[in-house]
Structure 1
Amino acid sequence: IKKHPIADRKLKTVTAEHLQAFLDLLTFGGEFPDGKVKKGYSKDYIHSFSAVLQQSFRFAVFPKQLISFNPMQYIKLKKQAEEVDLFSDDEVEEGTQPISHEDYERLIQYLEKKNPPAILPIQIAYYAGLRIGETCGLTWQDINLEEQCLTIKRSIRYDGMKHKNIIGPTKRKKVRIVDFGDTLTEVLKAARKEQLKNRMQYGELYHRNYYKEVHVKNRVYYEYYHLDGTQEIPTDYKEISFVCLRPDGSLELPSTLSIVCRSVAKKLEGFEDFHFHQLRHTYTSNLLSNGAAPKDVQELLGHSDVSTTMNIYAHSTRKAKRDSARLLDKVASNA
């Protein structure tokens, strides 16, 4: 918000029109104050911005009495239209490119020096295709190392309105089983061993992870907390043994991982557009390009429709298809 010109206005001169224009820009995208043209943000992200502004202006009205009314009460959060313009001149956007295995290894080497706690979730996403919230929500009870499979039943996300990390269902609200191979098996075994070692080294300062059940208006949700051994555990806290931990035992959260990915995009050559979800696209592309059945890949990914799976693959293989098409030029030149 501070980066936008609206932040430079005097409080009393900020109108509903200014706020509506700001939130519309975030929703639909366009040219931002830094001169860059960006896409609109997700619905959850927009609601986070709206919540901050609502509370801020409400506070300015009362108890501060700096303004007489809250201009945010007139704001309408709009939705991005899903219709396709059949006569648009816009080019079809290319999809997220998969990461080569060489680049993946280079990424791991970079993180070993810069941010080791991010390595395990990135390894899990690369070898099992999990979403960022699903990766962070994985517990050791969800993993069967002998059968080499994961049970995906929960996801973690940050709720901007509640200012809490919330444990909830997966995107499709369905439990799914994801099989994996020997490489991820060894990664998980090594991680488990490292965590037991950290627990011994940190002693009572080692953190345990908990969730708390919250009931609001006939709805139930679960808040995430972590406490070290010196802190008293509330009676309504239930312990949960997450897989992706920091050295002190606390959970490696999606918000932290997103920051790490943004840092990678800025500092690691060849990763300029990198984001965590790219690992899931890479997993999809790797399976399909090596002969996996699309229906099997759909079920491993938890997509609602096999066309979603195939669209990702189609976008990710644009370069290969272009190169194939240009083979005809070679045929023509040799004729």
Structure 2
Amino acid sequence: MGHIIKTPAGTFRANWRDATGRQKAKTFPTRRQAASFLAETETAIARGGYVDPHAGRLPFGKYAERWRESRNDELTTRARDASILRTHVLPRWSDVPLHRIDHLAVQTWVTELSARRSPATVAECFRLLSAVLRSAVRDRLIGTNPCEGVKVPARRRKDTDGHVLSRADLVARLLPAVPDRYRALVALAGGTGLRWGECTGLRWESLDLTRKTVEVVRVAVEVAGTVTSKPYPKSRAGRRTVPVPDFAVELLTAHREVFPAGPRGEVFTNSSSGPLRRTLFRARVWRPSLVRAGLLGNVSRLGHFKWRAAWLDLDGVEWTAEFTTEREAVAHVAKMAPGGLRFHDLRHSYATELVSRGVPVNDVQGVMGHEKPSTTLNLYTHRSDGRDQRIREAFADDPLTPNDD
């Protein structure tokens, strides 16, 4: 049983033993407050929900570091979470004691962060803050998670989200604009829906050009500029066999004859026979290819040694610049023009193409490597060409008024 002692200073000290038998004490200005606290504490101990009122003095930053080191996530997940914590979460909460973080403070932080960051970034920051504090609750450092009930801005789709590239534009416009060394890579991604890591981690032993299939069994993982091979895909459903279309088979066959395999039989390597890095590929290969294909900005010839680069900014205002070579003009548009098709949009386009052509959703789910068909429908399918006309035709034989005849 706990007891209350009046101190020489005139305050009242509540004394009790915690669940481990350690003597604890806390001082209050009145006996009533001390008695109320003592009753709540003894009830919590009896129910197994006791939290030491002094435990929450631990700074958030120190506990967050312990929490991060205890996780057994994938390398990419660990790197991403560490970056978000370091950049957005710790600058605000690192020195704040856990028990000093309340609901209103968290809501205010989320609102302020929303004014300068995208909803997706805010959601990730909030997710990590909540995860750390949820762990602190389980460790009995704080009684409740102050993140509960906090309103986070909704993620709204933008016009630039989920671009869809038709199969005709892929074959006739984009592929001819991609450098020879990487043309088969883009063809494989666009013709099979493989993710970036699944494409760059692919080895020739997993490709059967005779049967026209590719087996996804490993992926390449890039963390802090270092690329390693992971001997299993993103999920259990990610291990799959995908049919390869004829145009991709032709380019892969030509690729094998011209470009040697990597040290471990990798299909795609850089010019030094090393692993492909996503950021460098995007800047040096992907975006310039979009410009040459006419899918990002515009480059036109004005005369001898005179090229015009044009692009629109986020407000729709056109900007132009002149250069002496086409290469310089293309590089400038690739650097300055916002948005544009992403490499991952090839995957979106592939799934949309299959669904719009009537391929059953469960088959699309299988080749995409999704655990649930809802993922296929919600994330990777978009409006397809001819949709409006097909909907009109579905009701063509159902007049709203009876036939007078």
Give the TM-score taking structure 2 as reference length.
0.46
Residues 155 and 170 in structure 1, CA contact (< 8 A), matched pair in contact too:
yes
Equivalent in the alignment of 2:92: 17
User: Structure 1 pair 321/150, CA: closer, same or farther in 2 (3 Å)?
Assistant: same
Query: After the TM superposition, which of the residue ranges 100-109 and 122-131 deviates more from structure 2?
Result: 100-109
Residues 181 and 255 in structure 2, CA contact (< 8 A), matched pair in contact too:
no
Residues 264 and 274 in structure 1, CA contact (< 8 A), matched pair in contact too:
no
Unaligned runs of 5+ in 1: 1-6, 8-14, 48-79, 200-207, 210-239
Q: Which digits, 9 at most, give the CA deviation of each residue in 1:235-293, with x for residues without a partner?
A: xxxxx110112344223333333334455567864344311110011111111212212
* 2:242 maps to amino acid: V
Mapped to 1, the partners of 2:353 and 2:384 lie a distance apart of 14
* 1:311 maps to amino acid: N
Instruction: Work out the percentage of aligned pairs sharing the same amino acid.
Output: 20
Distance apart, 1:323 and its partner CA: 6.9
Equivalent in the alignment of 2:253: 189
* 2:267 maps to amino acid: V
Is 1:40 aligned to residue 102 of structure 2?
no
Residues 166 and 353 in structure 2, CA contact (< 8 A), matched pair in contact too:
no
* RMSD of aligned residue pairs (Cα, Å): 4.5
Mapped to 2, the partners of 1:84 and 1:265 lie a distance apart of 39
Equivalent in the alignment of 2:191: 127
Of residues 257, 276, 289, the one that matches 1:252 is 276
Is 1:164 aligned to residue 164 of structure 2?
no
Residues 352 and 384 in structure 2, CA contact (< 8 A), matched pair in contact too:
no
Residues 261 and 274 in structure 1, CA contact (< 8 A), matched pair in contact too:
no
User: Structure 1 pair 109/180, CA: closer, same or farther in 2 (3 Å)?
Assistant: closer
User: Structure 1 pair 175/265, CA: closer, same or farther in 2 (3 Å)?
Assistant: same
Equivalent in the alignment of 1:96: 162
- Mapping of residues 1-335 of structure 1, within 5 Å: 16-17=91-92, 30=114, 32=116, 39-40=120-121, 96-104=162-170, 105-112=172-179, 116-160=180-224, 164-168=226-230, 169-173=232-236, 174-196=238-260, 208-209=262-263, 240-259=264-283, 260-263=285-288, 269-271=294-296, 272-312=339-379, 314=381, 316-317=382-383, 321=387
* 2:251 maps to amino acid: V
Mapped to 2, the partners of 1:107 and 1:319 lie a distance apart of 18
Mapped to 2, the partners of 1:41 and 1:89 lie a distance apart of 10
Mapped to 1, the partners of 2:175 and 2:109 lie a distance apart of 36
Count of aligned pairs between the two proteins: 230
Residues 153 and 170 in structure 1, CA contact (< 8 A), matched pair in contact too:
yes
Residues 97 and 317 in structure 1, CA contact (< 8 A), matched pair in contact too:
no
Unaligned runs of 5+ in 2: 1-86, 96-107, 129-146, 297-338, 401-405
User: Structure 1 pair 190/130, CA: closer, same or farther in 2 (3 Å)?
Assistant: same
Residues 370 and 376 in structure 2, CA contact (< 8 A), matched pair in contact too:
yes
Mapped to 2, the partners of 1:25 and 1:257 lie a distance apart of 36
Secondary structure in 2 matching 1:187: helix
Distance apart, 1:128 and its partner CA: 0.8
Mapped to 2, the partners of 1:148 and 1:93 lie a distance apart of 36
User: Structure 1 pair 302/25, CA: closer, same or farther in 2 (3 Å)?
Assistant: farther
Relative contact order higher in (CA < 8 Å, ≥ 6 apart): 1
Query: After the TM superposition, which of the residue ranges 264-273 and 285-294 deviates more from structure 2?
Result: 264-273
Equivalent in the alignment of 2:23: none
User: Structure 1 pair 153/318, CA: closer, same or farther in 2 (3 Å)?
Assistant: same
Q: Which digits, 9 at most, give the CA deviation of each residue in 1:171-229, with x for residues without a partner?
A: 11442111123222211110000115xx8xxxxxxxx53xxxxxxxxxxxxxxxxxxxx
Secondary structure in 2 matching 1:165: strand
Give the TM-score taking structure 1 as reference length.
0.55
Mapped to 2, the partners of 1:258 and 1:25 lie a distance apart of 34
Structure with max Cα Rg? 2
User: Structure 1 pair 41/282, CA: closer, same or farther in 2 (3 Å)?
Assistant: farther
